[in-house]
Amino acid sequence: MPGIIGGPATGGYLDELSGYGIKKVIFCGGGGVLSKEIETGKLLLVTGAIRDEGFSYHYLKPSRIVYSSKPILKTMENYLDEKGISYLKGLVWTTDCYYRETKGLVERRKKEGALMVEMEQSACLAVAKFRHLSYGAILYAGDDVSSDIYDKRDWRKKGSVRYELVLLCKNLVLKF
């Protein structure tokens, strides 16, 4: 059985954590790449999320994109650069309907600037803005949804990438 995923679950938990006094959060996870040129395990510093879900609209006024905090992004960039860690920087496409990344939708989201698709960032960014949290997100490149033929690229078996990402985020959140 898969773990709890999606904007309502993670956004809801983030809102609850803010009620317990949490002020700094870094999200780490995986996303599907919208271009096969992005290799499995490559890190993406999330600059914002295209809002293609419903949860975030309960926290923020309607807009196409919810952006990450520029000061938090700069802090994260500086840390990654200082440590010599290679990464991409860009938008993600948040949708709450997995397995529906059709070729047409992928092409449209790429034209809007998305590099990956995932299910949580617009919700988490919305809650973070609403609750005034210091929030950042790093994703690693997982499966490839860029063509008609789905390529899982064994992304769930990249345990060392996932472990290293958690350790990175543990240290990085202390810099906020």
Q: Is the torsion defined by CA of 56, 61, 63, 65 positive or negative?
A: negative
Q: How far apart are CA 89 and CA 73, in angstroms?
A: 9
Question: In terms of DSSP H, where are the helices of the chain?
Answer: 7-19, 70-83, 103-111, 121-131, 159-172
What is the predicted pLDDT for the residue at 3? 65
Q: Is the torsion defined by CA of 105, 145, 77, 8 positive or negative?
A: positive
What is the predicted pLDDT for the residue at 33? 96
Residue 29 pairs in a beta bridge with 139
Q: How far apart are CA 78 and CA 129, in angstroms?
A: 22
For residue 68, the SS3 value is coil
What are the residue ranges in the chain where pLDDT is below 70? 1-3, 155-156
Q: How far apart are CA 28 and CA 171, in angstroms?
A: 12
CATH number listed for the domain at residues 24-175:
3.40.50.1580
Q: How far apart are CA 82 and CA 62, in angstroms?
A: 37
Domain boundaries, the chain: 24-175
Q: Other C-beta atoms within 10 Å of 7: how many?
A: 27
What is the predicted pLDDT for the residue at 4? 72
CB 124 within 8 A of CB 12: no
What is the predicted pLDDT for the residue at 1? 33
What is the predicted pLDDT for the residue at 161? 83
Pairing of strands 43-52, 87-95: parallel
Residue 55 is classified by DSSP as G
CB 114 within 8 A of CB 91: yes
What is the predicted pLDDT for the residue at 101? 85
